[in-house]
Amino acid sequence: MQYQSTRDSRLRVSASEAIVRGLAPQSGLFVPETFPQADLDAWKHLSYPELAQKMLAGFLTDYSADFLKQATEATYGSAFGGKAGRTVKVQDGLYSLELWHGPTCAFKDYALQLMPKLLVEAKHNLNRTETTRILVATSGDTGKAALAGYAGLEGIEISVFYPNAGTSEIQRLQMVTQTGENVQVYAVEGNFDDAQTGVKRVFADETVAAELEKRNIRLSSANSINWGRLAPQIVYYFYAYFRLAEQGAVAWGEPVDFCVPTGNFGDILAGYYAKQMGLPVGKLVCASNKNNVLTDFIRTGTYDARRTFYKTTSPSMDILISSNLERLLYHVSGSSEKVAAWMQELAQTGKYTVDVETLAKIQQNFAAGFAGDEEGAAEIRARFEQDRYLCDTHTAVAFRVAETCRSAAPMVVLSTASPFKFPRDVLAALGTQAPESDFAAMSALTEATGEEAPVSLRQLDKLPVRFTEVIAPDAIRAAALR
């Protein structure tokens, strides 16, 4: 299996190469040239680690079977407390795929607990001996999940850039208390797009690469633009489908719809990949918050980022430039020339419009909707009062949007974070006056709902803060060169 660039389809690299490089030249993204076909009957009874191994083997063809077996077992066994891919019934026909039972309580653990192992092995496969310096722009959850995945790994350094005042208190503390000699954490003035644009600019800057090369350091990315981030996310779509089939919630081979709280379009794109591999997926519903650039795009074919950026109670979805959409555009248009032109237009004018054939193919697979903070809050309350199901602010957006996009098929909402990561907003949604501190709010949330907060979150305020630096977006370059 080879990988192509979304901006130059003539390029061909191995999986190891795609993972080590992160980005293709001219800011292109690596995509698989074909989709390996799933053997649903053979896969349906596999454990989560076994399923991950089988699925990844089709994409990571230059990795040994032994390595994949050992890496998937080490990642998805005990680290997820036996709850990897847990799917909970909320109502008849409505399910929650709880993706937050990993070490940092967000779905990004699925990719970021495995990806570091994939990177170390890729360097080994390619006989590379340089130091890999990973730069991560994060709106909150990626940062901690990446730090937790990479901390202490040999031959790797990681620097995380998060928007100052753009994350929850808990998200920030999760990052700035991270241990490990090979980690750095910076707050960046501005919003997530400022941090992400700054990091992308460093990746595109050849003088940075040249300077680091003299020190035998090579830059890489842990953002969801890296193929090693995306591939592991395909697994849980299959796993959830098999669990629904097992319970008789869906007839074998009949479709299931998925509704995904979306920011950078990585999680939902993995669902599209699952469908391309033969999983019976009906609609993939793209749920956005008030930053609804994707809703408009999927409905009209015009992507227009020239709009107000809102800070919402679902900060991991506060995004105006949704990077992984580029991959979808490449798959449906089949043209790296078109994609390169659209992306250039976006960079220069802030918008682009796709052709009607491309839009039609997108609409065959995707539906879209959005919900504001108040609707999300009403949803948290409704799900708890009616169904005794407690969800976080991101998941709530998806539950709300899912209601407007139901078909005859069962609907699975991807639940992307523990409600205890955003305890103040969740409490307020339940109609309880939220205390100032996240930690008091966690206890109050337990009291109000009877749900236990994860231990890793409860103990955060007792850990020493290691990182306090706030930098301007322009200073990301200098930080990357340290």
If binding is defined by CB under 6 A, does position 106 make contact with ligand PLP? yes
Q: How far is the CB of 234 from ligand PLP (least distance, A)?
A: 12
DSSP character for 26?
G
Q: Candidates 9-17, 208-216, 263-271, 298-306 — which segment interacts with ligand PLP by CB under 6 A? A: 263-271
Q: Tell me the number of residues near ligand PLP by CB under 6 A.
A: 16
If binding is defined by CB under 6 A, does position 265 make contact with ligand PLP? yes
Beta strands 217-221 and 281-288 are: unpaired
Q: Pattern 154-193, binding to ligand PLP, x per CB under 6 A? A: ----------------------------------------
Nearer to ligand PLP, 101 or 123 (CB): 101
Q: What are phi and psi of 185, to 5 degrees?
A: -135, 130
Helix (H) and strand (E) counts in the chain: 22, 16
Selected from 32, 266, 376, 419, the binder of ligand PLP by CB under 6 A is: 266
| Three-state secondary structure call for residue 132 | strand
Residue 228 tokens read as: 């090693």
Residue from 336, 272, 326, 317 nearest 297 by CA = 326
Q: What are the Cα distances from residue 86, in Å, to 76, 104, 415?
A: 12, 16, 10
Q: How far is the CB of 66 from ligand PLP (least distance, A)?
A: 30
Nearer to ligand PLP, 108 or 200 (CB): 108
Cβ-based neighbours of 450, under 8 Å, separated by 6 or more: none
Selected from 4, 16, 196, 224, the binder of ligand PLP by CB under 6 A is: 224
Give yes or no for a contact between 224 and 146, defined as CB atoms under 8 angstroms apart. Answer: no
Query: Residue 180 class from Cβ within 10 Å (0-12 exposed, 13-18 middle, 19+ buried)?
Result: middle
Nearer to ligand PLP, 3 or 265 (CB): 265
Give yes or no for a contact between 346 and 303, defined as CB atoms under 8 angstroms apart. Answer: yes
- Alpha-carbon distance of 303 to 321, in angstroms, equals 9
Q: Candidates 81-89, 158-166, 259-267, 344-352 — which segment interacts with ligand PLP by CB under 6 A? A: 259-267
Nearer to ligand PLP, 257 or 392 (CB): 392
200 is catalytic: no
DSSP character for 417?
B
- Alpha-carbon distance of 104 to 122, in angstroms, equals 25
Nearer to ligand PLP, 125 or 263 (CB): 263
Selected from 32, 58, 255, 263, the binder of ligand PLP by CB under 6 A is: 263
Q: How far is the CB of 30 from ligand PLP (least distance, A)?
A: 16
Rg (CA), the chain: 21
Selected from 27, 132, 221, 262, the binder of ligand PLP by CB under 6 A is: 262
Q: Which of 108, 117, 123, 283 is catalytic?
A: 108
Q: Pattern 133-152, binding to ligand PLP, x per CB under 6 A? A: --------x-----------
**Which residues contact ligand PLP by CB under 6 A?**
106, 108, 141, 224, 261-267, 316-317, 394, 416-417
Supply the residues annotated as catalytic.
108
